[in-house]
Amino acid sequence: MNLKVDEIIGHVGEVLPESRKKRGILIHAFQKIQKEYNFLPEEELRKLSKNLAIPLSDVYSTATFYKQFYFTPRGKKIVRVCTGTACHVRGADKVLDKIKDEFKIDEGETTSDLAMTLETVGCIGCCGLAPVATINEDIVGEIDMKKVEGVINLIKK
Our CB check for ligand FES shows the closer of 62 and 134 to be 134
132 is a contact residue toward ligand FES (CB under 6 A): yes
Contact 84, 125 (CB under 8 A): no
Distance CA 155, CA 157 (A): 6
Our CB check for ligand FES shows the closer of 16 and 135 to be 135
84 is a contact residue toward ligand FES (CB under 6 A): yes
Maximum Cα–Cα distance across the chain: 60
Our CB check for ligand FES shows the closer of 33 and 87 to be 87
Q: Count residues binding ligand FES (CB under 6 A).
A: 12
* Interacting residues with ligand FES (CB under 6 A): 82, 84-87, 123-127, 130, 132
